[in-house]
Amino acid sequence: MRDHRKLRAFELADELALAIYKSTRSFPKEEQFGLTSQIRRAAVSGPSNIVEGCARSSQADYYRFLEFAYSSVCEVEYQLSLALRLEYLDPKSASEVTSLANETGRVLSGLLRSLKPET
Cα separation of 101 and 117, whole Å?
Answer: 25
Q: 48: how many CB neighbours lie within 10 A of its CB? A: 19
Model pTM? 0.94
Averaged pLDDT of the chain = 96
For residue 119, pLDDT over 90 is answered with no
Annotation: CATH topology of 4-115: de novo design (two linked rop proteins) (1.20.1440)
**How many residues in the chain?**
119
For residue 117, pLDDT over 80 is answered with no
Model confidence over 45-100: pLDDT tens digits? Answer: 999 999 999 999 999 999 999 999 999 999 999 999 999 999 999 999 999 999 99
Q: What is the mean pLDDT of residues 99-105?
A: 98
Question: Phi-psi bin for 14: left (phi > 0), alpha (psi -120 to 50), beta?
Answer: alpha
Domain boundaries defined on the chain: 4-115
